[in-house]
Amino acid sequence: MMVLLLDTFVRYLRFEKRMSDHTIIAYKTDLSQFIHYMKATYDIEMANEVKSIHIRSWLVDLKELKQKERSLQRKISSLKSWFKFLLNRTEVTENPTVQITGPKAPKRLPAFLEQQQSEALFATPDYAAGFEGLTEELIMELLYQTGIRRAELIGLLEQDVDPYRKQIVVLGKRNKERAIPIGAGLLVLIKNYIAEKKAKVSTEHNFLLTLESGKPLYDQYVYRVVKKYLQEVTTLSKKSPHVLRHTFATHLTNNGANISAIKELLGHSSLAATQIYTHNNIEHLKKIYQQAHPKAVKDE
């Protein structure tokens, strides 16, 4: 039955592919919806009975329910990965997703802070008093100065900070490590934070950042901290930690950094994921041209 095969696939994603919990939940949700549809609509419970026509029928129904293009693309990707897995394990004799293609979604440029907004963000921030404020400051500075992901920030250990090489070592997706250089100012902030933590907080872990209670940081805490300070300098609808990651990469691009170097700093597996920042750079140059060139056609 497909339900049992899905459980096997989830274990494969977790223990062999080492995907994040967030990604695994997305796969499981998409495939559970598909399995339910196959049973309810066609009374199909076995994976080897699924044909491409059944998949197209499901996608049409989703489209009629106003599912967005990106959501449909993700569901198709989930199905393709699953049936490729089943084919490799000889659970099916053919892959019904081979002829399935998804709708093209419009490219969305990443949300980021303009240079003057980031300068305002760190000019005179009103951080909370005491150790909580130190934690908030280090969260903001690390996210902007290194471009690390929220999960990577939470997972940083004290021993990941190398003061001699002036770098931090980050454990990224698929357990891939990468070294990111840090400036002298950030290094001093980290050293002071560790000293204050040892003096005032009792912990049973070795994570770099911690709550005042001594417990490790968690996703929503980091999100709330970032949102609190971003809303003081921007009207962007998104105010998540990823905005600071996008800002890090965009500012590097705008200031002439090599796209391959940015790829390594961000921990992207392919250059294609990083090239979105070249689009941001083009838009940035267009804006400068419109504002500065005497022959530019000004927008009404």
Q: How many Å is the maximal CA-CA distance in the chain? A: 69
Residues 266 and 143: their CA atoms lie apart, in Å, by 11
- Helix and strand totals (H; E) in the chain: 13, 3
- Find residue 119's DSSP bridge partners: none
Of 74, 75, 144, 149, the catalytic one is 149
Reply yes or no on whether 268 is catalytic.
Answer: yes
* DSSP SS3 for 42: helix
Cα angle 189-195-200, degrees, rounded to a multiple of 5: 120
Taking Cα atoms as reference points, which of 110, 82, 120 lies closest to residue 254?
110
Q: Which of 27, 193, 229, 277 is catalytic?
A: 277
Active-site residue, 149 included: yes
Which entry of 242, 246, 251, 263 is annotated as an active-site residue?
242
> Is position 224 annotated as part of the catalytic site?
no
Instruction: Verify whether residue 144 is a known catalytic residue.
Output: no
Q: Choose, from 245, 246, 251, 263, the residue flagged as catalytic.
A: 245
| 177-181 and 161-162 beta bridge pairing | unpaired
Residue 36 appears among annotated catalytic residues: no
Other residues' Cβ atoms within 10 Å of the Cβ of residue 101: 9
| Cβ-based neighbours of 66, under 8 Å, separated by 6 or more | none
Q: How far apart are CA 278 and CA 285, in angstroms?
A: 10
In the residue annotation, 277 being an active-site residue is answered as: yes
Cβ atoms of residues 149 and 171 within 8 Å: no
C-alpha dist (Å) from residue 174 to 23, 246, 268: 12, 21, 11
Instruction: Name the residues annotated as catalytic.
Output: 149, 173, 242, 245, 268, 277
